[in-house]
Amino acid sequence: MLYSVTVGLRDDDAAEWASSTRSHTLATASPSLTPLSDSANHPLEHSHSASETTQPLNRTMSSPGQLAGDQVYLGTYLLDRLAQLDVKCLFGVPGDFNLTFLDLVEEHPEVQWIGNCNELNAAYAADGYARVKQAQINSIREGEQAGSKPGHATTHGGKDKTQGGVRGLGALLTTFGVGELSAVNGIAGAYSERVPILHIVGVPSTKLQKSKALLHHTLGNGEFTVFEQASAGITCARAFLQRAEEAAQEIDRVLLAALTTARPAYVTLPTDLVFVPVPKKRLEDPIIPMRVGFEDKNVLPTGKKVEEEEKNRLQFVVGEIERLWNDAKEPIILIDACAIRYGVGHLVRDLVHATGVKFYTTPMGRTAIDEDPSNGFGGVYVGEVTDPKVKEVVEKTDLALMVGSLKSDFNTGEFSYSFPTEQTVELHSDHTLVQYAHYPSISFHQLLPALTKVLKHKPHVTHPPSDRGLQTQIPDGDADKVVSQAAFWPMMGKFFEEGDIVVAETGTSSFGMISTPLPKGSTFVSQVLWGSIGWTGGATLGALLAAKEAPKPRRVILFIGDGSLQLTVQEVATMVRLDLKPILVVLNNDGYTIEKKIHGETAGYNDISSWNWQSMLDFFNAYDQPKPTRSWLAPTRRELERILADDEFRKADRIQVLEVKMDKLDAPVALEKQGKLSAELNAA
């Protein structure tokens, strides 16, 4: 019988990856492949009955054997590849199908196992880790070229500038079926927001798969590829490993796809392949180049070669954009999420300095480069949700040059951008849009340096308001009542310090941060597009571990509502166990405020259970030698002001909880606006 197997590679946004998906027809009797004669309704159904598979089977996992000098175990190969890509943390939950691989993880000198409370939190943590790792690499690049001449290929210290690229990668390990499905929401969010994660799934041995054994964690029908299919729409590439001969190559393929598309990839690791020997020499060839120069026109940061036709097309596009730029009187640069994900913030900064225009960011683009007015920062633009004075300046533009835009509802003020297509240029990782024209394969990695060399200096554009639409003044209020949202966020803006990592939960916190200034060297982390409640509970763990790898200490500050934290609170226990030192700011407003602002302001379904947040750290600290912790309560504005001024609180030398009491219907101005816009859209 003939069987068809598809080596799953999917990337909806990069044509070169979509075209590389391969389908083979193999003459084999392996029941782990799909018979061509199977029915359309049950394409994976095997011909023998369930009773035929109930005979006793050898379930012994593989164990280490002798290795030749030029060999390495497949499991070690995978870990070495992660280490080469600077992945130092592997998140996940142990299960019997990944335990032998975990033996190798525990022995590995560079990759640390971070056991999580559940797989969903582990996926969130891998996401947060990858984001902060990428942001730290971006910040180093920006710092390297501070003071260098815009458009020149070397920094002020003589070091070659780079084209950037995706370098922040997260890694997640789950077990077959029950484990991987628990992580699906977290992986989907990473796919949505362009965050690369390698999801490794420990699966039963190839022998058990081929025998259609009715194992635990299966659906009871002997099918072993169904969960891989469940990941098909939320990963850029998948490798369902079955043969040792191709396993290392397949691992490399999915890793390259993840770093090309900035999206998650999926690989299964059968128990009997963990210790199979593979050639060590393959590790000498990097997945991606370590660095691709600013002026290298022959290759992209992924290692993809640039064809002559693409070089010619690039020059044509540069000319088209230059023509529009020369005619424009009020051009602006609008930075969005993918400028961060693909590591081109330093190239945008170069362009801003070369042209003298102002740059604005979307909520998802914040801290792509330092938000310093002297650096060209003009404010945060969110369509109708924008500060009125900033909105007026931005919408006066006659040419909006957008870098890495992700025009989702909450990122655009419910699609309320007003830029005419004739006055819009969009730069992306794998294509460029100039007015109505689409140019595939023209990447901002090479286009930004080219534009920096030719676009005219235009320092006489309209200046934004001096406060950039950010709330720097703290309004007066009754010191003996709960603090208002209007006062809270500018207070936090003054509390922030250089280098802080600020994590804001979907809802009140992310909308409050829209108008809050962020200092030099800070990193802002939020899930604006996917918007999964509780995401930051896990993501903050990843951010903390990434921060430990930074060149100098960084505080990590989480803002999360009481409702959201109830979904992922278990990961605070992991933070305690690992002696991490976040400041966890819990906004206790007794319910889901963002939902109330959209619909059901007084409805019972937007209410939640009341928890004693002051007891949380003690509950998670049942060690013989308790870890150092602090819990703070701010029932009034006066008490909040006292805490924020306390040096013990500010120095963040241990895990701390700050519970801030707030009125249940109070909300930031941006959230009030967005709530009305969302309600109108939902009613359409």
Catalytic residues: 96, 119, 216-217, 531, 562, 589, 591, 595
* Angle (nearest 5°) at CA 662 between 661 and 668: 140
Contact 157, 356 (CB under 8 A): no
d(CA 609, CA 602): 15
Determine the angle formed by the axes of helices 637-644 and 485-495, rounding to 10 degrees.
10
* Closest residue by Cα to residue 584 from 597, 573, 595: 573
* Sign of the Cα pseudo-torsion (387, 390, 394, 396, in order): positive
Residues in the chain: 684
- Cα separation values, 428 from 313, 340, 358, 432, 447, Å: 15, 12, 20, 6, 9
- What count of other Cβ atoms lies within 10 Å of the Cβ of residue 59? 13
Structure tokens of 85? 């890509």
C-alpha 219/C-alpha 181 separation (Å) is: 12
E strands, 87-164, are: 89-92, 112-115
SS3 helix, strand, coil % of the chain, rounded to 5?
40, 20, 45
CA dist list (Å): 26 to 44, 147, 253, 267: 16, 59, 21, 21
How far, in Å, CA of 235 to CA of 258, rounded?
8
Please state the φ and ψ torsions of residue 278, each to the nearest 5 degrees. -130, 160
Contacts of 615 (CB under 8 A, 6+ apart): none
Instruction: Give yes or no for a contact between 385 and 677, defined as CB atoms under 8 angstroms apart.
Output: yes
Q: Is 353 left (phi over 0), alpha (psi -120 to 50) or beta?
A: alpha
- What is the per-residue DSSP string for 365-411? GTTSS---GGGTEEEE--GGGS-HHHHHHHTT-SEEEEES----TTT
Cα–Cα distance measured from residue 415 to residue 385, given in angstroms and rounded to the nearest whole number = 10
Supply 268's token pair.
Answer: 């299964």
3-state secondary structure of 546: helix
Alpha helices in 476-589 (DSSP H): 485-495, 508-512, 535-547, 562-568, 571-577
On whether the CB atoms of residues 32 and 206 are closer than 8 A, the answer is yes
- Strand extents, DSSP E, 430-497: 431-434, 437-440
Report the b/e string of 260-294 with b at 16+ CB within 10 A. bbbbbbbbbbbbbbbbbbbebeebeeebbbebbbb
Rounded CA-CA distance 640/474 in Å is: 13
Let me know: does 59 contact 208? Beta carbons within 8 Å.
yes
- Per the listing, tokens 């007066």 go with 476
Place of tokens 């730069």: 427
CB neighbour list of residue 476: distance below 8 Å, 6 or more residues apart: none
| Cα–Cα distance measured from residue 289 to residue 569, given in angstroms and rounded to the nearest whole number | 39
